[in-house]
Structure 1
Amino acid sequence: MEKSSVETLFGWLDETTTIIQQHLNEPYLESLTIAMEFLFYEGAPEDMDDILNRKLHSALANIDFHSYEAEDVRKAIQLAILKGMKDSTQQQHVMTPESVGLIVGYLADKLTKDKEELRVFDLVSGTANLLTTVLGQLKQNVTAYASEVDPTLIQLSVINANLQKKEIEFFHQDSLRPFLIDPVDLIVADFPVGYYPDEIVANEYQLKADTGNSYAHHLFIEQSLRYIKDAGYLILVVPEFLFDSDQSDKLHAYLQEHAHIIGVIRLPETAFKSEKNAKSILVLQKKSASTSAPKQPLLVQMPSFKNANAMADILGQMNRWFESYQH
């Protein structure tokens, strides 16, 4: 059977990364960044030793990178990153599942299709897979921004965006600190779940905990609402238990004051490693003088992504809901 272009490119990335990994004794994800940079610049940095340089140049001769579509590039890189994350011990090295990214992209397209120009921001962009998946589904002229604190992930995401020819402006910072950015039309994000360690920064937020550590995922929702325009949309991948936790009353009151809940889409547990990791997609619109809550929010329980018939049914229901939803 002939290999697909995604498999061929992944195979090249994987083999080249392994060569670098063995030669430099670096972890897989760091070696993958070097392999991707070599592919993008079609050559090595000046300080690379001759033996590795020769090996990489002979690998480069075996691939015609310019013949690949951006979406195939994204998928091949995603497979290589996933392989690296399996070996990684770092808890923040987890990628948004492909199927979830596609649903976020579908929602983004539906909510913004009447806009010709669009500014999009992912506050916790990781390897930029979620953001580039969404950008692949938007048809208008988009300006994209992303922020990530982890140095390995931001290096990966910058070169990932370059190889896909996606223009994204990156911020390397703690995403709960202030940004030098004007408010945007759309925020997409898959929030890390857990406690936020910096109490001084947390003190700047209404959703800080009354005692003890604050929930990072609550602070991120408040931060997102600071950087979205009035009437702008937020499509957020959040923990399933978001409204059932000990601090959820405060979150609920905050959202009622600042946003309309447009929808909640429960994702199938099969999309995640375990039940306790299960997530939902929360769709919000920032309140303004011209907005009102939908008559009936979009409430959906997603079937298993492997069940094509049930998926088609649900997408049909969602399409009908969007037809009746007046922005």
Structure 2
Amino acid sequence: MGKSNVELLYEWLDQTTNLIQQQRHEPYLDSLATTMEILFMQEIPENQDDITSHKLQQSITELDLTDFSKEDVRKATQLAMLKGMKDSTQQQHLMTPETVALLVAYFAEKVMLANEKVRIFDPAGGTANLLSTVLDRLQQPVEAFASEVDPTLIQLAVMNANLQEKQIEFFHQDSIRPFLLDPVDLVVADLPVGYYPDDVQAAQYELKADEGHSYAHHLFIEQGMNYTKPGGYMIFVVPDFLFDSDQSDKLHRYIQEYAHIVGVVRLPESVFKSEKNVKSILILQKKSQDSRPPKQPLLVQMPSLKNTNAMADILGQMNNWFQTYNKE
């Protein structure tokens, strides 16, 4: 068995990153960003020593990017990023699992069916893996935007988009602050979970905490709502405890006032390291003059992804549900 394209490209990315990392003594993810830039630009950055430059020059000639599909590139860079994230201690350096990203993309396609073109925004962009998975699934012309505050992640995201030839406009900023962005048809995000440190900024939000720090994941939902057109949709990957936490009453009231709950899909525990990390996908529609709630929201407990029969069954049920919903 020969190696797959994804394996070949991943090995190249990994070896080149290790080479840069040895010379620069910096985290793997930072060196990976440089590697992706070398691959995209096909040239070596100037600040290398001669031996490293020579080795890098050699690596470039060993690989022809045109041999790889965009999907190969996405999967190989994803594997390299995951490797870097295993060594990283920072909580935000965690990537949305592939299966979860594919489900978000599936829902995005379903709720955007009637749109001739789509404006989409991910306020928690990370390495842009979730957004690029969704972009692969949408058939219409798309304008895509993403925001990320972490400098390493945004560098990786920009190179990720370039290598996959995806047009994404990036904002390098704290996503709870205002954006120069017109409202979009669809917001997708794997919400960062935890407390948001800037109480002054949080005070602008309806979902601010009555005392102490506010929850970042609540503020992100409100920020998503702020940048969604009336009648537009939001698909959030949310912690399982979202509606059971100490500030959840406020969140519930907020959502009921401004949005329709289209669906809540609980992800299988097998996708996550432990039970307390389990997440769900929350699908909301921002209220508009002519929007109506679904007769019956989509409430699903996803089976283990290894159980192909149960998965096929659930996908069949969800397809039927969306057919009815899109006619309502």
TM-score by length of 2: 0.98
Q: How much does 1:256 deviate?
A: 0.6
Alignment-derived partner of residue 208 in structure 2: 208
> Which residue of the partner structure matches residue 38 of structure 1?
38
d(CA) in 1 for partners of 2:173, 2:181: 13
Displacement of 1:230: 0.3
> Paired residue for 2:70?
70
Q: Does 1:92 align with 2:92?
A: yes
Query: How far has the Cα of 1:86 moved from its partner?
Result: 0.4
Q: C-alpha offsets along residues 10-39 of structure 1, whole Å, 9 cap, x if unaligned?
A: 011011111111122121101111111000
Which residue is 1:245 aligned to? 245
Shift in Å at residue 45 of structure 1?
2.3
Q: Could you list the runs of 4 or more consecutive aligned residues of structure 1 that deviate by over 4 angstroms after TM superposition? A: none
1:304 aligns with 2:304: yes
- Give the distance between the partners of 1:323 and 1:193, measured in 2 at CA: 33
| Structure-2 residue corresponding to 1:196 | 196
Distance 2:55 2:24 in 1: 13
Distance 1:264 1:271 in 2: 17
Please name the residue that 2:292 is paired with. 292
What does residue 134 of structure 2 align with? 134
* CA–CA separation in structure 1 for the residues paired with 2:48 and 2:324: 59
Q: After superposition, what is the alpha-carbon deviation per residue over 1:186-230, rounded to whole angstroms, capped at 9, x for unaligned? A: 000000111111000000000001111111111111110000000
CA distance in 2, matches of 1:223, 1:191: 11
1:4 maps to a residue whose letter is S
1:302 positional shift: 0.4
Q: Deviations over 1:46-78 (max 9, x none)?
A: 333322211111011111111211111000000
Percentage identity across aligned positions? 66
Q: Give the match for residue 276 of structure 1.
A: 276
CA distance in 2, matches of 1:294, 1:190: 24
CA distance, structure 2, for counterparts of residue 253 and residue 26 of structure 1:
46
1:101-131 Cα deviation digits (max 9, x unpaired): 0000000001102211110000001000000
Query: In terms of mean alpha carbon deviation, does 243-252 or 39-48 score higher?
Result: 39-48
Counterpart of 1:56, as a letter, is L
Aligned mates of 2:286, 2:40 — CA distance in 1: 39
Residue 153, structure 1, aligned to residue 153, structure 2 = yes
- In 1, the alpha carbon distance for the partners of 2:107 and 2:89 equals 32
2:26 equivalent in structure 1 = 26
Residue matched to 2:227? 227
User: Larger deviation: 226-235 or 111-120?
Assistant: 111-120
Counterpart of 2:161 in structure 1: which amino acid? A
Say yes or no: does 1:176 pair with 2:176: yes
Output aligned runs, 1:50-61, within 5 Å: 50-61=50-61
Amino acid corresponding to residue 151 of structure 2 in structure 1:
P
Q: Which amino acid aligns with 1:244?
A: D
Q: Distance in 2 between matches of 1:246 and 1:26?
A: 40
Query: Structure 1, residues 131-179: CA drift from partner, whole Å, max 9, x if none?
Result: 0011011110000000000000000000010000000000000000000
Letter in 1 for 2:77: I
Mean CA deviation greater in 97-106 or 45-54: 45-54
The equivalent of 2:79 in structure 1 is: 79
Consecutive unaligned residues of structure 2, counting only runs of 5 or more, are none
Q: Is the partner of 2:104 in helix, strand or coil?
A: helix
Report the secondary structure of 2:220's partner residue.
Answer: helix
SS of corresponding position for 1:61: helix
- For 1:34 and 1:55, the matched residues in 2 are separated by 14
In 2, Cα distance between the equivalents of 1:47 and 1:77?
24
Aligned to 1:187: 187
Computed over aligned residues only, the root mean square deviation of the Cα atoms, in angstroms, reads 0.8
Secondary structure of 1:18's aligned partner: helix
Where 1:136 maps in the other structure, the secondary structure is helix
